[in-house]
Amino acid sequence: MSLEALIFDVDGTLADTEETHRQAFNAAFVQFELWWDWNREQYARLLAISGGKERIAQYIESLGLPAGEQARLKELTPAIHRAKTRLFTELIADGRAPFRPGVARLIQDAQAAGVGVAIASTTSAANVEALISANLGRDAYRKFATIACGDQVPVKKPAPDIYQLVLGALGLPASSCVAFEDSGNGVQAAKAAGLYTVVTPTVWTAAQDFSGADLVLPSLGDPAAPLDWASARKIGGPYLALRELAALHAGANELPDAA
């Protein structure tokens, strides 16, 4: 089965955005006079929950508040999250989250070769557009075959719904696509959808379980930022190029010879 599309997660995969998200959450809390302050360790734990609104709701439940106050805060959650999204996109526009090594190169090489590039993310569409535009240029997101975000499906990762939505929009079988993720939840979602999955963990996700992934690398690598020797040996080169990726994907899809 030939390689016909690359499907990327966003936060942590395209760029290490989580610190920028954390700062935007805390700034939004101040705007609503909540005075919550998520530190790095706390936010790392909250990342086990997919989706910003879901993280806020889970945090509210953890506070042990009276039922009435808990209900009031949960009603505020969508507004808090909208404020956080606005603040995040402002920070992204200022260049706070550059793409990780190899991401822009692989996306552009795939698009030039006629291989589709899609997004399957739990973040909002506004965040995706801001990040892509800041790193690839204004309107670059229009070159993506499809962009699917968390609010478009009833259940977020680790459920496979977002990947199934993307595959349906692409009109392609899972066997002809590769997913790129950075988290354990993302790996579970991609593998449940039947996708060959490449993982590039960040400091936020490095301790998570990636045992289901097909390939784990510290990054995709670039000519100016080559992979370490052990990683390069896995893929047959100093960085993950489209040709090497297609070969790895093809090898994984080969059926064993009949007995």
| CA dist., res. 156 & res. 54, Å (int) | 10
CA distances, 86 to each of 12, 15, 24 (Å): 19, 18, 8
Q: What is the pairing mode between strands 5-8 and 177-181?
A: parallel
11, 16, 161, 222: the catalytic one is 11
Give which of 18, 9, 15 is closest to 102, Cα–Cα.
15
Place of tokens 């229009």: 142
Q: Are 12 and 205 in contact (CB under 8 A)?
A: yes
Q: Which of 9, 161, 182, 222 is catalytic?
A: 9
Burial of 37 (0-12, 13-18, 19+ CB in 10 A): exposed
| Active site annotation includes 9 | yes
Cβ neighbors of 229 (< 8 A, separation 6 or more) are: none
SS3 category, 81: helix
Is 139 one of the annotated active-site residues of the chain? no
**Cis peptide bond N-terminal to 158, omega within 30:** yes
Q: How far apart are CA 27 and CA 64, in angstroms?
A: 23
Catalytic residue annotation: 9, 11
